Amino acid sequence: MSDDLLVLDHVEKRFGGLKAVSDVGFRVPRGSIFGLIGPNGAGKTTVFNLITGVYRADVGTIRLRSAAEGGREQELVGKAPSAIAAAGVARTFQNIRLFASMTVIENVLVAGELHRRAGLIGEVWRTKHAREDEHAVRARARKLLASMGLADVEEAPATSLPYGSQRRLEIARALMLEPKLLLLDEPAAGLNYGEAESLKAQIRALRDEYALTVVLVEHNMQVVMGVCERIHVLDHGITIAEGTPSEVRANPKVIAAYLGEEPTSEGEGEAGGESETAARPEAKAP
Amino acid sequence: MRRVPAVVLFAIGALTCVGLDLAYDGLVSWDRGSKFWLHILVVCAINVLGATSLNVVNGMAGQFSIGHAGFVGIGAYLGGAIVSNLALALKIPVAALKDNLSLGQSFLLLPVALVVVGLVCAAIGFVVGLPSLRLRGDYLAIVTLGFSEIVRLTVLGISADSATNPLTRAIASLGGSLGYRGPKVGEDYLGVPSVAGPFWTVGIAALAVFLALRLKRSGFGRALRAVREDEIAAAAVGVDPAKYKVTAFVLAAAGAGVAGALLAVQRDGPGIVGPANMKFDKSFEVITMVILGGSGSVSGAAIGAVLYTVIFYASEEALHQLAQAVPAFGSVDAAALRMTLFATALIVVMLVRTQGLFGERELFEKKADDGTPKPPSPSSDDATGTAKEALAS
Amino acid sequence: MIAWLLNALAQGAMIALVALGYTMVYGVLRLINFAHSEVLMMSAYASVIAQTRLFAGFGRAGMVLSTLVAIVVAVALGVTIEMVAYRPLRARAKGASARVAPLVTAISVSVLLQSVAQLAFTATPRNLDRALAPPMWSVIVIAALVMVGLHALVNLTWIGKAMRAVAVNAEAARLMGIHPSRVIVFTFAVGSGLAAIGAVLYAGTQAPIEPTMGTAIGNLAFVAAVVGGIGSVQGAMLGGVLIGLLGEIVKRTSFSGMKDAIVFALLVVVLLVKPAGLLGQARAEKV
């Protein structure tokens, strides 16, 4: 039996009469970089929302396994989003969701809240514990921001950052949780060829440095094919293929799904011509 | 960073408040006219407490409550009832209770009353905060309004002759539309004693401002702001929005309750607690203080409260003077005039400067992006800014 | 018994007329227009002033003319509030303040109008000539006719379609050549006019005209709108009738003093159990 961190089994989600996701199941090996792809409306982001508890799956199980052999399994379905985050699942958002009125470092510090020992009264009283916590959390946040190339803008309002920096800030915030599993929702959206190349290297480096398992929803085939070790393909909420990048690329069903939607979008170096990525939110000016 | 030990700070604060309290009596016996000003001081302090507590929910947590007066009212009735009954139980002579009580006597009555009021209101705040888990924005606002109206209408609606069980009898004993005037002593009502002078009012208001500042600057306050900005993103980084929102309601309710109790038993107080304390107008007043000062800013809300109180009495006085000069003004409804003034001010603030006087900043606090390294890719504005600074230096 | 039922239905019909204004504005703007109740109160004053000063000797015809005056005043006031206080906010609202600013403004406008009425008309209640009051059955007929008309307006006319389009998606409606701001003004106008009719019927049959009358009736109407499902026209009608019935039932029990408290309790319960109301639709946030 392989060592899987995340196991989805027969997951189904309906909105009204519409099945957004039906009977989806996959296993994400520990320490791997796993891709989740599919044409628009395939249900990729919905799967992320199901894993992180934003939506609750109607049918099926989503389990998180601990590292130890025969270790504990946690059922994520039915847990609150904050509890799932506490269990070690961090994410970024397709349409960036930073805390708008807060500075860059404050955005990251919020995610350190879980690792504090002092309660409300301790914090207001500024006990020794509380001060030590704050110190430790701040130091960690600084380190993460530095590793994301954001050290210079720590005290700037988060929404004043350029678009690419906002994406990196979201990743820094997610890492502050000290997660086991990192879900990245379209991290390459709006990046050019060179930026996408460096993103690939960055994702690998993150995985190695923080001992992460990464699941990626992405339209940019250059990134997906270049960095993912396994890829799961959805279309209209249904699994149509899974395998290594070369297997997936050769799969006739996958080609049909993409061709059926947008004939020229197949292949490397193209973002897939998706309207989702075209609707790039403008970074607000400082 | 300069740091004064908290103990020293508290000691200085406590001594100042004792001094104020003794000065109150001294000044009043020396010059009766000073009573007016001292009364304003006490009301200012109570309003600061009310605004500071509402600011935790409306400003910091971003949950818009418009039922704050409900908590203030419960605190007022409960505080008035506890203090007057406790005073009788402690055998303080009725004659003494008709007058202001001394600072020493207040220590017998207030600590118990305020702690009980704080705890009871915190518990009610917990219940009223629960809907915030399901409702947002105006829907939540309506529930808080519903809460305060239910409390007020219940007090008004149950009269002594329709009371049949212990609960309704207890509510009926609050006096309905006539207001609560303490327990009956012989033929007459005792009246709610005047216990809380500047020591309690100013002291507790200062303590509340101090605690609220600390709360805002703590990790808890940060998480609360995160929940306000984006609940889904906050939950995604492990911050449980439910816990933070409900805690904000609990803290605000406790503060409002204590403010209400102090309002009921303030020195030279009215001796009566009326259901008008819970009218929507009262909630609106506190909202005005918080928004004028700046939602989310502790010092802003406090200054808003002081400004409001000062304008309140100044307009009252101005109208009084005016009426003596021009008799036609004698019939002007002062309360309505005031509400017209403040409502207009709020509308203008929303149109011109939505964030209020201070925004979310504190007094003497720099802007978030001042004095820190600029982003590596400065916009043209920044560049000219630095160039100007270079020229100036 | 029939008289009682007739009375309860009439109460419900009047509440529904006022509730429609809340629900229509909420439909297009997602804003609880707290000032709606004050528009109602002001139009009641307009009717009583018109009736006593202008049409004193005109009998029933004078009553109809006064109602028209009330409608004109209400429409003018409602549209002014939208253009002066609400619209500028929509142009520049952003971030967390975008959610709170309209709410604060709406509450402030309500308080402002009530205080102005207090100053201008004093708290002394006035009364419409009860001799000219419409009989209870006609209240129901008038309200029913108005609601059928409104239903036709919303479902059969171009402007009604435009209203529904703006309610679903203002941005898309704009792309289809609809001017959302004109539709919004029209919505305020219709809602305010309905409130004026409700106000005159109310004041004519039972309630004294005073500055706080708006809050008293407005609260009932607002609860009706929420219970029925705010944003839904049929919901407001259903909610109005339910609240009217509930009020009349409570009046006959020993809790009659608690009538308004019970109505509010109902509101809280409905919001908690079924926030979208009986006929409303829930909206989910897209992540």
Q: Does the residue C209 lie in any domain?
A: yes
Per-window interface: A 193-252 vs B, CB < 8 A: none
**Confidence label for C284 from pLDDT (cuts 50, 70 and 90):** low
For C42, the token pair is 């002001």
C247, C249, C255, C257 alpha-carbon torsion, rounded to 10°: 30
In the predicted structure, residue C132 carries a pLDDT above the cut 50: yes
Q: Does the residue C285 lie in any domain?
A: no
Per-window interface: B 198-227 vs C, CB < 8 A: none
In the predicted structure, residue B374 carries a pLDDT above the cut 60: no
Mutate to test the interface with A, among B237, B243, B247, B381 (most CBs of A within 10 A): B237
CA distance B42 to chain C (A): 27
Measured CA to CA, the distance from residue A218 to residue A195 in angstroms comes to 15
How many structural domains does chain C have? 1
If you average pLDDT over every residue of chain B, what do you get?
Answer: 85
Beta-sheet strand order (sheet of A238-243):
A89-91, A181-185, A213-217, A33-37, A230-235, A238-243
Q: Does the residue C287 lie in any domain?
A: no
* ipTM for the assembly: 0.87
Q: Does the residue C278 lie in any domain?
A: no
pLDDT in tens, A202-233: 999 999 999 999 999 998 888 999 999 999 99
H runs (alpha helix) in C97-212: 97-121, 136-156, 158-168, 170-175, 180-205
In the predicted structure, residue C35 carries a pLDDT above the cut 50: yes
Contacts of B64 in chain C (CB under 8 A): 99-100, 103
Average pLDDT rounded to a whole number, residues C46-50: 92
Containing C10, the helix (H) or strand (E) segment is helix C2-29
Q: Minimal Cα distance from A185: which residue of C?
A: C287
For residues C232 and B76, the model is more confident at B76
> For residue B377, what pLDDT is reported?
39
Average pLDDT rounded to a whole number, residues A118-140: 86
Least confident of A183-187, B50-54, C230-234: C230-234
> Residue C236: what residue type?
A
Quickly tell me which residue has 């200054």 as its tokens. Answer: B303
pLDDT in tens, A9-35: 999 999 877 889 999 999 999 999 999
Maximum separation of any 2 CA atoms in chain B, in Å: 82
B331 in contact with A at a CB cutoff of 8 Å? Answer: no
pLDDT in tens, C252-277: 887 777 888 888 898 888 888 887 88
Which residue, B251, B314, B297, B254, is CA-closest to B44? B314
Q: Give CA separation, B83 vs A157, B76, B88, B101, in Å.
A: 49, 10, 9, 12
Quickly tell me which residue has 């249904």 as its tokens. Answer: A238
Domain housing C237: 2-92+99-273
Least confident of A90-104, B126-140, B280-294: B126-140
CA distance B256 to chain C (A): 20
Among the partner residues B219, B236, B376, nearest to A134 by beta-carbon distance:
B219
pLDDT in tens, B181-214: 988 888 888 889 999 889 999 999 999 999 999 9
CA distance C99 to chain A (A): 14
Least confident of B157-166, C91-100, C164-173, C276-285: C91-100
Output the domain CATH number for residue C207. Answer: 1.10.3470.10
H runs (alpha helix) in A87-177: 104-110, 120-125, 128-147, 163-176
CA distance C223 to chain A (A): 28
